[in-house]
Structure 1
Amino acid sequence: MQTLDQNTAQRFAEIALGHVRQEFPNHIMHVFEGVEDGVRPASLHPVFYGSFDWHSCVHGYWMLAHLLRLYPDMPAAPAIRRLFDEMLVADKIAGECAYFDRPTARGYERPYGWGWLLKLAAELTDHETSTWSQALTPLTERIVARFEAFLPLATYPVRVGTHYNTAFALRLASDYAKVSKNTGFFSLLQTTAKRWYGADRDCTAWGEPSGDEFLSSSLIEAECMRRLLPPDAFEPWFSGFMPDLSKGQPAHVMKPATVSDRSDGKIAHLDGLNLSRAWCFFALAAALPEGDPRRTIMQQAANTHLQAGLAHVAGDYMGEHWLASFAVLALSA
């Protein structure tokens, strides 16, 4: 089985270092307030302007920070440190904060980018260089405040397998809440997850996958609940949510997705689906006791999906600008 060894970490780090400061091509989700608005990505986002879009750049930084923590002496480590020393500084983060302070940016990158920013903040907490985390803090605080304002207003979850999926955002944000020991924020995430998903039963996953998903709406919901519920509450919920898992059901999530065109950004999402499914399967299997037949089924599914996704982490920029981060999620699980 593939592991996140130093050689793999080096390869993924080289991929990310090659695109986190690549400004073009760039997909901007920007509301123009007037003719005076700048149009260059780097003028709008002094730090996270690369990697085709803001959120992909953020999780590129997360992956680099994660790999640096695991392998501080790998060949790419000096380049990562130089990047962070230059980019994760107060004045550049202030520029990112200014963007989020715009009245029209209330829902900017909600919730996917918000979750990834907090995942990055969690990774930088207690990292080898405290100045990186300190510099990011003003933006981190703004994103926490965004969650705190939004979640009580969100009557319903969003279950699609793309950026708007709410379970994925809660799952990533929970890591920051735990690491930062922000019990109030964690309680809000937990309460929201219970409100949205607590009564869900008999998942069939009949609509999975759709043509541009990179998340399994069923598996990421389960992984969100695994992270936010106490173990004694998660197991009965999970057994009710996927009651036929020991029979290899729902069958729709057990078989890796087929990707027909990796130069098409939407279709290329399906490589990410295979990797994110692997991440969820690994994490959910580990939560079950040894000897539980569901554990073996999910481990086998995880390995099958992982191998399907790892083969295509690089090659075309439509996938290359983000897929390695999802590979690291899976390999770290």
Structure 2
Amino acid sequence: MSPPSTDRLTPKIASQFARIALGHVTREYPNKLDHVLDGDADALGPKALHPIFYGSFDWHSCVHGYWLLASLLRRHPELPEAAAIRRLFDHHLTPQMVAGELHYLQRPSARGFERPYGWGWLLALQAELLLHDNHRWAAALRPLAEAFADRFRAFLPNAVYPIRTGVHSSTAFALTISHDYAVRAGDTTLLEQFRGKVRDWYLADRDAPAWEPSLDDFLSPTLVEAECVRRYLPADEFRAWLADFLPRAAEEQPAALFSPAVVSDRTDGKIAHLDGLNLSRAWCWRGIAAALPDAEPMAIAAEGAAQRHLAASLPHVAGDYMGEHWLASFALLALTAGD
């Protein structure tokens, strides 16, 4: 991808992202399955196991590839790729295909399948589809979304502690991207369950040390927690909490949060995570900045950090499949934060 000339989504960038996603959501191989075999009969390929989300190297990346395409189609319905996106959705987002995905979840050994990262992204996809004029897609996906909402309902009472990581297990990220589903689907019970866990897990946190990044991170444990808390607290309460959580942010401390990660090898799937870290940090910093008065020093520092992180990794969304199958989704989060 050529270096961007903007730090916001443009039709040109939207088209580039759409072409990237259309090139991988139906690409079955290579594929890294999250799959427990209970016997020889379970030794099946991705498409046999997952009739919709079999592409993009892994299930969750395919889900957020669909989210990316749905988001781009809504924001830029005139895209040259719009017809191809609609054909893809019309073919795959059907009751029959969704029934196949539900069938997989009914396996006893699939209880922890994609928890919590994939759960969150599936709910984020449904939240996006609920905004579309074409209601068939959201209606078809609804049973799968409700199944994952039910999984959250069953899991959260047992989740005494948060999972404070910069990778797929992060509870803060999962609840952040699940928020809009609970709101748009009118699931007030789930929304209050999420809000209660955010308060239990994070409200006592103070003066975050930000010992990051780790080599595998594509999320900032510190910033994604702040973005999660922002989603669930009233604005005044969030600002008060943030002042205690990052008390020196206006002076760009802890310094690690304000400096983009260095990506030493973009052909290494784990090291390539660091491009995602830069993009997701930009998304979080923009969310934080939007919650503060424009002239506040912390808001200025946050927006500056967001722009530096975007500049470091937005030009590398495409190029090697280890990043290309997922990075555009995180770039879109960053480019549209606050819209």
Aligned-partner SS, 1:297? helix
Cα distance, 1:252 vs. partner? 0.8
Aligned-partner SS, 1:257? coil
**Which residue does 1:196 correspond to in 2?**
201
Worse overlay, 178-187 or 12-21 = 178-187
Aligned-partner SS, 2:316? coil
Which of the numbers 177, 180, 185 marks the counterpart of 2:190?
Answer: 185
Q: Residue 16 in 1 paired to residue 21 in 2?
A: yes
Asked if the contact 1:88–1:136 (Cα under 8 Å) also holds between the matched residues in 2, the reply is yes
Q: Distance in 2 between matches of 1:125 and 1:189?
A: 20
Aligned-partner SS, 1:94? helix
Q: Residue 157 in 1 paired to residue 193 in 2?
A: no
**Which residue does 2:292 correspond to in 1?**
288
Aligned-partner SS, 1:36? helix
TM superposition outliers: structure 1 runs of 4+ over 6 Å: none
Which of the numbers 86, 95, 102 marks the counterpart of 1:97?
Answer: 102
Cα distance, 1:309 vs. partner? 1.2
Aligned-partner SS, 2:89? helix
Which of the numbers 13, 38, 41 marks the counterpart of 1:36?
Answer: 41
Cα distance, 1:126 vs. partner? 3.2
* Per-residue Cα deviation, 1:263-314 (whole angstroms, up to 9, x for no partner): 1000000000000000000110010012110000000000000111101000
Which of the numbers 254, 271, 290 marks the counterpart of 2:275?
Answer: 271
Q: Distance in 2 between matches of 1:329 and 1:315?
A: 20
Aligned-partner SS, 1:306? helix
**Which residue does 2:3 correspond to in 1?**
none
- What is the percentage of aligned positions where both structures have the same residue? 57
Cα distance, 1:140 vs. partner? 0.4
Q: Residue 169 in 1 paired to residue 166 in 2?
A: no
Asked if the contact 1:213–1:273 (Cα under 8 Å) also holds between the matched residues in 2, the reply is yes
* Per-residue Cα deviation, 1:69-104 (whole angstroms, up to 9, x for no partner): 001111000000000000000111100001111111
* Per-residue Cα deviation, 1:88-127 (whole angstroms, up to 9, x for no partner): 0011110000111111111100000000000000000031
TM-score normalised to structure 2 length: 0.97
Letter in structure 1 aligned against 2:275? D
Asked if the contact 1:23–1:51 (Cα under 8 Å) also holds between the matched residues in 2, the reply is yes
**Which residue does 1:256 correspond to in 2?**
260
1:191-230 alignment to 2 at 5 Å?
Answer: 191-205=196-210, 207-230=211-234
Q: Residue 239 in 1 paired to residue 239 in 2?
A: no
Q: Residue 322 in 1 paired to residue 326 in 2?
A: yes
Cα distance, 1:128 vs. partner? 2.2
Q: Residue 107 in 1 paired to residue 136 in 2?
A: no
Q: Distance in 2 between matches of 1:126 and 1:87?
A: 18
Which ranges in structure 2 are unaligned for 5 or more consecutive residues?
A: 1-5
Aligned-partner SS, 1:264? coil
Q: Distance in 1 between matches of 2:190 and 2:215?
A: 34
Asked if the contact 1:220–1:280 (Cα under 8 Å) also holds between the matched residues in 2, the reply is yes
Letter in structure 2 aligned against 1:60? G
Cα distance, 1:38 vs. partner? 3.8
TM-score normalised to structure 1 length: 0.99
Q: Distance in 1 between matches of 2:86 and 2:43?
A: 30
Letter in structure 1 aligned against 2:280? S
**Which residue does 1:124 correspond to in 2?**
129
RMSD (Å) for aligned C-alpha atoms: 0.7
* Per-residue Cα deviation, 1:230-267 (whole angstroms, up to 9, x for no partner): 11211111111001111111111110000011110000
Q: Distance in 2 between matches of 1:180 and 1:306?
A: 32
Which of the numbers 326, 331, 335 marks the counterpart of 1:331?
Answer: 335
Which of the numbers 51, 56, 59 marks the counterpart of 2:61?
Answer: 56
Asked if the contact 1:38–1:44 (Cα under 8 Å) also holds between the matched residues in 2, the reply is no
Q: Distance in 2 between matches of 1:316 and 1:118?
A: 28
